Structure 1
Amino acid sequence: MRSMTTAAVTSGADAAPPAASAAPARRRRPAAGLTAVPLLAFTAIGFGAPVLAMALGAFSVKDPATGASSFSFANLTASLHGPYLTALLGSVELSAVSAALAAVLGLLLAQAVVAFGSRTLRDAVLTGSGVLANFGGVPLAFAFVATLGNSGVLTRHLGLADAGWSLYSFWGLTLTYLYFLVPLMVLTITPALEGLRVQWHEAARNNGATRWQYWRHVALPVLAPSLLGGFVLLFGSAFAAYATAAAMVGSSIPLITLQIADAISGNVLVGQENVALALSLDMVVVAGLVMAVHLPLQRRSARWFD
């Protein structure tokens, strides 16, 4: 009996420290939650407020006689018809094509860097990619015009104009977008490529698989969510690009960002500001649909790299 009592007292004494330490843990959780308040506030102010203002303006119509605003779907309807719909589809096409090409080229370049195995080369490529991924806008447009424009250096020396080349076209703009999209893909996919385990390749090789079979049945399925995530990021970057296209092609290629600028500035019709907000809301919806496809696949791939 005495031994049982002693054991009970001992077990009770041993159990006391976790109970005592549970209280500080519970006190730490609210404190940890408070650290996220500045981030949530910044997100609400920086992203929530503009989206709310955009939605309110997109569904508001002002009476030209009285100046009173009323709820209406007229702006949203107008944004999905005529030249606005053409611009939306043109932006989707340009973004999808340039993002797909950049995803393939970026994957090949990143795999070459990872397979080479040099830390110095990896750091140099990633550093250069970080710089080039942020080189866009008017300077990029000027660089391409001076190089591949109608009177560009390469255009004159290689006789590209005689072969039918034009920088101020869909494929010319796609080539320009690749300049900053490919480095962005390299930055995105390199960590995923480095996460591929050597044991997977060795196991496939021991079972008689060729290198192509390994990539087709093992590596690419594992990388698929990361590739899709990179494609989504590239698509969004190309979809939202404005300055490069505005400086290089103007209104010769219908793009939704250019239509928004024209509607706000009144270059087409005066008083189309709310139509511009509806077009911006269309862009948000397109981006949301793409992200809705990406997030479940991203969660599915996370277990492979844990």
Structure 2
Amino acid sequence: MKALGLTPFALYVLAFLAVPTVLAVASGFVGPDGGFTLEHLAVLGDPVVLESFWASLWLSALTALLGAVIGALACVALSALPEGGPVRRIVDAAASVLAQFGGVMLAFAFIATIGVQGLLTVILRDRLGTDPYADGVWLYQLPGLILPYLYFQIPLMIIVFLPALAAVKPQWAEATATLGGSPRHYWGRVALPVLAPAFLGSLLLLFANAFSSFATAAALISQGAQIVPLQIRAALIGETGAGQAGASGVLALGMIAVMALVMAGYSALMRRAARWQR
């Protein structure tokens, strides 16, 4: 009966996740004549594709690291507040909303605020004589994705790391102090080793979140395909026919391989972190 209750969810995952994934990957092994082929795998050796994978990796790693550190510091500050207090409730609600705020709306918000003619840009240029775009239009290039990505990475870190921090028992600090330990001993030998798996797992989750993001980058970067999701878009809307569609399937396979490794590490770290949250 328990398995029967999971049937609707299993059908949902099958229809909207498993089947599209299989079809997308399978398209990379279908030739122009409809037969099986491995020719499209050569796209993974294309210098442009390798550069886009590298760009996706460093962008995801950088925003994940910054988001994890800033989010963890915010969680430490929030943990000192009453759990049912108004500040905690407001921050929890805001983090839940902002973690899902992305795509075209997020891109538009940044364009309207710090774009070439954005509100903040105009104020800095007209009133303070400072032009943020004096050296180039950075917002619409790869570095311009860092701030928008952090906008949803930090709230996501708060959501996933705060429960782990809340599981650290105050009695552990009291026991350390009773045994003559300093706050440095407590954080270095008790709290940080306990929190390390949860922090690293959250870091991997943020990496996966950034690596798979598409809509925000697509809305900001209209020219070129500087990261892998944009490479897939370029292949699908290209004018060279089925060969490019096959290349998109191979690129999707490469992304899935990276995501599988990251999520396997995330699952292992979360199982280890769960020992201290029971």
1:216-259 C-alpha deviation (Å, 9 max, x unpaired): 22222212222122222212221121121122122356111111
SS of residue paired to 2:31: strand
Equivalence map 1:1-306=2 (5 Å): 31-62=1-32, 68-117=33-82, 119-158=85-124, 159-161=130-132, 164=135, 166-252=138-224, 254-266=226-238, 269-271=240-242, 272-306=244-278
5+ residue gaps in structure 1?
1-30, 63-67
Aligned length: 270
Greater relative contact order, per chain length (Cα 8 Å cut-off, separation 6+):
2
For residues 250 and 286 of structure 1, the distance between their equivalents in structure 2, rounded to whole angstroms, comes to 25
Q: Percent identity, aligned pairs only?
A: 38
Q: So what's the TM-score if we normalise by structure 2?
A: 0.89
For residues 209 and 60 of structure 1, the distance between their equivalents in structure 2, rounded to whole angstroms, comes to 64
1:10-58 C-alpha deviation (Å, 9 max, x unpaired): xxxxxxxxxxxxxxxxxxxxx2333233333333333221222123211
5+ residue gaps in structure 2?
125-129
Offset of residue 194 of structure 1: 0.8
Compute the RMSD of aligned alpha carbons: 2.0
Offset of residue 130 of structure 1: 1.1
CA distance 1:206–1:99, shift in 2 (3 Å): same
For residues 216 and 169 of structure 1, the distance between their equivalents in structure 2, rounded to whole angstroms, comes to 40
Q: So what's the TM-score if we normalise by structure 1?
A: 0.81
For residues 221 and 287 of structure 1, the distance between their equivalents in structure 2, rounded to whole angstroms, comes to 26
Larger Rg: 1
For residues 83 and 34 of structure 1, the distance between their equivalents in structure 2, rounded to whole angstroms, comes to 48
SS of residue paired to 1:116: coil
For residues 140 and 39 of structure 1, the distance between their equivalents in structure 2, rounded to whole angstroms, comes to 29
> Which has the higher mean CA deviation after the structures are superposed, 197-206 or 145-154?
145-154
Partners of 1:129 and 1:183 within 8 A in 2: yes
For residues 201 and 125 of structure 1, the distance between their equivalents in structure 2, rounded to whole angstroms, comes to 26
For residues 252 and 176 of structure 1, the distance between their equivalents in structure 2, rounded to whole angstroms, comes to 19
Offset of residue 204 of structure 1: 1.9
